[in-house]
């Protein structure tokens, strides 16, 4: 009996997705709950599992197609997987095809330009893995259908490269490496369809600029006290909590102090009403292979430094793996974005609708400052608070940023709630 596989519920307010990659092909055996396809939503990639064990019959849609919740994307014929002899025959056929493929590869290597990634057919998921791990797809032997690369091929190649085995691939084809990827003076272009996440990011950020009355206020912050505290307690902190003491924990707690005193920075505008929150859910901007994501630290005002640091570390790891869920990124009343990890000195971050404010952090650098009438060198950071002027007055925005600055320069304030 054939069972239809439908697009599952994707999350609150999410009604459609894009087929990013087929993980199983027609004729493949599938187990119960085994993923057969990867869908790209506005925020995350979602695997579609098979509800039954059997053999995949057909794909009803193609990679890149937009599908709605409940739409049929494939069918599975229930029952046992192909008999062992059929599997053995299939393996023998694959071995023959692989042997033929190797012969073809040898002849193609002499004529095909090396390093030309555009000549390698890659699904969006594989392309993201290539960018994330920094490997050359032209040097990887694909194990998928028709020799195509799979995500597992890329990860295996990246591991081999880290362990020192990556060089053997390049050494195996010196002629290929010596061939230029394009004629001298060539001007190449590549067209790649925007992922659904990138389209959503573009639409939301442009919408924020058009709808909100955006304004940014700046301040600079002496990081000496926080750096000294980290240096003094980092070993004890790591030993007790099994997590490193980072800067984000300090800024998250400092932001909670500011939002308590300036509730408008922790509020939304909905229609002609202002929605205030008596809790602080901080969205933390995290860089993922397919775009910027903002998982949420729930009840940050009630959590200690250790739990905040653990939440941030977990989000960062899962963002790289692509395993963040819709629930992880829903909500959020305030955002912290750290451009300093990429070397940014100063920026004007854009709010994350429907939020009304975002704190931008930047790189720390030694600068001359005047302290008690003397010029001294201090580790300084520029802070930026972008806000929706429809809801937050300039006085409130400046006050909120000043509270954050003072808490970072004197962390004791965070302990005694000043």
Statement to judge: residues 220 and 352 lie in one domain: yes
Statement to judge: residues 303 and 359 lie in one domain: yes
pLDDT, tens digit, 9 for 90 and up, residues 302-311 = 999 999 999 9
The domain in which residue 150 lies consists of 113-180+189-193
Report the predicted TM-score, pTM, of the whole model to 2 decimal places. Answer: 0.63
Average pLDDT over residues 290-315: 89
Residue ranges of E strands in 138-183: none
Can you read off the two tokens belonging to residue 316? 């960062």
Statement to judge: residues 165 and 248 lie in one domain: no
241 is catalytic: no
Distance CA 37, CA 55 (A): 14
Of 166, 193, 220, which closes a domain?
193
Q: Is the pLDDT higher at 70 or at 289?
A: 70
Average pLDDT over residues 82-105: 49
Cis previous bond, 240, omega within 30: no
Q: Is the pLDDT of residue 177 over 50?
A: no
* Residues 6+ positions from 240 with CB-CB distance below 8 Å: 306
- From 33, 86, 105, 389, active-site residue: 389
Average pLDDT over residues 104-110: 44
* Residues 6+ positions from 56 with CB-CB distance below 8 Å: 24, 25, 26, 27, 28, 29, 30, 36, 50, 74, 75, 76
Average pLDDT over all residues of the chain: 80
Statement to judge: residues 281 and 393 lie in one domain: yes
Statement to judge: residues 6 and 128 lie in one domain: no
Q: Which of 69, 43, 71, 354 is nearest to 196 (CA)?
A: 43
pLDDT, tens digit, 9 for 90 and up, residues 123-172 = 656 777 777 777 777 788 777 766 777 777 888 888 787 766 544 333 33
389 is catalytic: yes
Q: Are 351 and 212 in contact (CB under 8 A)?
A: yes
Q: Determine the pLDDT at residue 140.
A: 83
What CATH number does the domain containing 159 carry? 4.10.320.10
Of 155, 171, 193, which closes a domain?
193
318 inside domain: yes
Q: How many domains does the chain contain in total? A: 3
What CATH number does the domain containing 271 carry? 3.30.559.10
Statement to judge: residues 55 and 25 lie in one domain: yes
* Residues 6+ positions from 125 with CB-CB distance below 8 Å: 20, 21, 38, 45, 151, 322
83 inside domain: no
Helix (H) or strand (E) holding 40: strand 35-40
Statement to judge: residues 396 and 316 lie in one domain: yes
Q: Determine the pLDDT at residue 292.
A: 73
């Amino acid at each position: 009996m054939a069972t239809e596989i439908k697009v599952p519920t994707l999350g609150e307010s999410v009604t459609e997705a894009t087929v990013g990659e087929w993980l199983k092909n027609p004729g493949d055996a599938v187990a119960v709950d085994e993923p057969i396809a990867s869908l790209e939503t506005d925020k995350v990639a979602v695997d579609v599992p098979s509800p039954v064990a059997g053999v995949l019959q057909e794909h009803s849609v193609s990679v890149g197609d937009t599908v709605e919740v409940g739409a049929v994307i494939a069918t599975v014929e229930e029952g046992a997987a192909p008999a062992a002899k059929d599997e053995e025959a299939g393996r023998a056929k694959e071995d023959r095809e692989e042997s033929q493929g190797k012969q073809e590869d040898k002849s193609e290597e002499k004529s095909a330009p090396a390093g030309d990634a555009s000549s390698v057919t890659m699904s969006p998921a594989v392309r993201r893995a290539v960018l994330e791990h920094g490997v050359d797809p032209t040097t990887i032997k694909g194990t998928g259908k028709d020799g195509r690369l799979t995500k597992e091929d890329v990860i295996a190649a990246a591991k081999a490269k880290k362990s020192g085995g990556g060089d053997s691939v390049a050494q195996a084809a010196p002629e290929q490496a010596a061939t230029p990827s394009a004629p001298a003076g060539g001007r190449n272009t590549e067209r790649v369809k925007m992922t659904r996440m990138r389209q959503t990011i573009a639409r939301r950020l442009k919408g924020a600029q058009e709808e909100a009355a955006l304004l940014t206020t700046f301040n600079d912050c002496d990081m000496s006290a926080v750096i000294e505290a980290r240096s003094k307690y980092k070993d004890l902190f790591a030993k007790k909590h099994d997590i490193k003491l980072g800067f984000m924990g300090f800024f998250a707690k400092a932001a909670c102090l500011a939002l308590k005193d300036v509730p408008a920075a922790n509020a939304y505008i909905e229609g002609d009403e202002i929605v205030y929150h008596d809790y602080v859910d901080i969205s933390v901007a995290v860089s993922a292979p397919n775009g910027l994501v903002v998982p949420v630290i729930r009840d940050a005002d009630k959590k200690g430094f250790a739990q905040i640091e653990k939440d941030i570390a977990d989000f960062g790891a899962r963002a790289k793996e692509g395993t963040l869920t819709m629930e992880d990124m829903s909500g959020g009343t305030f955002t912290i974005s750290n451009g300093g990890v990429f070397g940014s000195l100063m920026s004007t971050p854009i709010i994350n609708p429907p939020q009304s404010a975002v704190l931008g952090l930047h790189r720390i650098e030694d600068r001359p400052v005047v302290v008690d009438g003397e010029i001294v060198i201090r580790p300084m950071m520029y802070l930026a608070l972008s806000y929706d002027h429809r809801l937050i007055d300039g006085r409130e925005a400046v006050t909120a940023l000043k509270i954050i600055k003072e808490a970072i320069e004197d962390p004791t304030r965070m302990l005694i709630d000043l």
